[in-house]
Amino acid sequence: MADVSSTVNSVVGGVVSLVKGLVVLFVFANIIYPTGFDPVGGIIDLVGAFLDGGFAGLLALLLLVSFL
């Protein structure tokens, strides 16, 4: 059972690393070349959605950041 848990953790870690790398790539690509994908704008909209939720939205944002 420990082997399965270790394998799942390593796979999930790899996927998270890949997604982080792609986000950084798209941010830099959007700075150099205008693309249709705007990850910075998406992040700003996400934070704005949390902050528009009032105190509950702020708590949800803090919880999300604590997971990262």
* 0.75 surpassed by pTM: no
Alpha-carbon torsion, ordered 54, 61, 40, 13, to 10 deg: -160
Interatomic CA distance for residues 6 and 2, integer angstroms: 6
**Highest mean pLDDT range out of 31-35, 44-48, 51-55?**
51-55
Share of the chain above pLDDT 90, in %: 16
What's residue 47's pLDDT? 76
Residues 6+ apart with CB under 8 A from 58: 50, 51
Note whether 24 and 10 are within 8 A (CB).
Answer: no
Q: What is the mean pLDDT of the chain?
A: 79
Q: Is the dihedral of CA 12, 14, 20, 25 positive or negative?
A: negative
